[in-house]
Structure 1
Amino acid sequence: MFATTTIEAESKTAFYGDLAAQLAGLLHDERDFIANAANVAALVFNLVPDLNWAGFYFLKANDVLVLGPFQGKVACVRIPVGKGVCGGAVARRQTMLVPDVHAFPGHIACDAASRSELVVPLIKDGQVLGVLDLDSPLPGRFDTDDQAGFEALAALYVAASDF
């Protein structure tokens, strides 16, 4: 049985290092990408402060992201590539950090309470598999330290999972 540990770190870098260590332990000896996504979403949602949504969208053959495991309120089920923050991250093949989603052209509001968003594409062997999506009710919640931390977590998840 895996038990999470509350993280009390002096810096975001230390926080994400501790979170990555817990994630590595959680993913150890499990290769199923759905099971791993469910546990990543739960771990992140419970340990990262000021989130109102944490989860995954997976890319399907018809250039549509489809909702995967998540924590938070019900969510949009399908997002076309190139639309919204999630679809934009896939189209650009890069992380998108949006301090104010209301100022983002084409933002898809699944939860009206969300004010900022961080979306990390999941890439394996040059192929985009989906995204890790994080929403916060606080404007400006995410910064470059959060981006680096979540990019490292996403890389751990991709390396630990069979797609």
Structure 2
Amino acid sequence: MAENLIIDKSKSRKDRYEELLPQIESLISYEDNLIANLANVAASLKQTFDFFWVGFYITEDQETLVLGPFQGPIACTRIPSGKGVCGTAMAKACTLLVPDVDQFPGHIACSSDSKSEIVVPGFKDNKVVLILDIDSDKVEDFDETDQVALETLMRIIEARL
């Protein structure tokens, strides 16, 4: 099992994702515990990209997201479906890329330092069971490169659910 990431941080974000995703897949292939795997995924993303906040929310009852493993400052513990970026992604069952969180109606500001966000749902039996939430302290920090790579990452995680 790999316990160190091998990432060339001088490479483009796309190239770093291409290096990172196979390493994450290998890392979580040896562990059956979801919390342990999500913790390592959050740490891997934080270490590779130095995002402001990286973490997961887990559906409790298809109505509420509950904070799971994360890296970064303290976060909102519970988010109702349909509220904020994460709750909206859960309700709509789709990825949301938010260039400026201050322009997102109903944004929940767990930290005023968060400026942009990408949220990617994970599915089991066609239901949203978890959310990957990544915040940046820079406006417009995420784009299609992030969306494609992070949706691929969620498919890797879903295969372990």
Report the TM-score range of the alignment, normalised by the length of the smaller protein: over 0.9
Q: What amino acid sits opposite 1:73 in the alignment?
A: P
The answer on 1:34 being equivalent to 2:44 is: no
Q: Which structure exhibits the higher relative contact order, with contacts defined as CA atoms closer than 8 Å and separated by 6 or more residues? A: 1
Aligned to 1:148: 148
- For the pair 1:128 / 2:140, whether they are aligned, the reply is no
Deviation at 1:109, TM superposition (A): 0.4
Deviations 1:83-138 (A, max 9, x none): 00000000110000000000100000001100000000011221110200000000
What is the number of equivalent residue pairs in this alignment?
160
Other-structure match for 2:110: 110
Aligned-partner Cα distance in 1 for 2:132–2:88: 13
Q: Secondary structure at the match of 1:88?
A: helix
Spell out the pairing of 1:14-33 with structure 2 (5 A cutoff). 14-33=15-34
TM-score calculated relative to the size of structure 2: 0.94
Q: Normalising by structure 1, what TM-score?
A: 0.93
Q: Quote the offset at 1:2 in angstroms.
A: 1.2
- Secondary structure at 1:75's aligned position in 2? coil
Q: Separation in 1 of the partners of 2:10 and 2:89? A: 29
CA distance in 1 between partners of 2:134 and 2:100 (Å): 13
CA deviation after TM superposition for structure 1 residue 15, in Å: 2.1
CA apart distance, 1:7: 2.7
1:62 to partner: Cα distance: 5.7
Kindly report which structure 2 residues correspond to 1:74-113, keeping only aligned pairs within 5 A, or say none.
74-113=74-113
Structure 1 residue 11, shift from structure 2 partner: 4.1
Counterpart-to-counterpart distance in 2, 1:9 and 1:27 = 25
Q: What RMSD over aligned residues (CA atoms) do the two structures have, in Å?
A: 1.4
Q: Which runs of 5+ in 1 are unaligned?
A: none
- Quick one: percent identity of the two aligned structures? 45
Report deviation, 1:141: 0.2
- What SS does the corresponding residue of 2:142 show, helix, strand or coil? coil
CA distance in 2, matches of 1:13, 1:76: 29
Q: Deviations over 1:27-67 (max 9, x none)?
A: 12212111101110111111114x11000000111601000
C-alpha distance in structure 2 between counterparts of 1:36 and 1:98, whole Å: 26
CA distance in 1, matches of 2:79, 2:60: 10
Question: Which stretch shows the higher mean deviation, 75-84 or 58-67?
Answer: 58-67
Q: Aligned letter for 2:48?
A: L
CA distance in 2 between partners of 1:130 and 1:13 (Å): 24
Give distance in 1, aligned partners of 2:62 and 2:132: 19
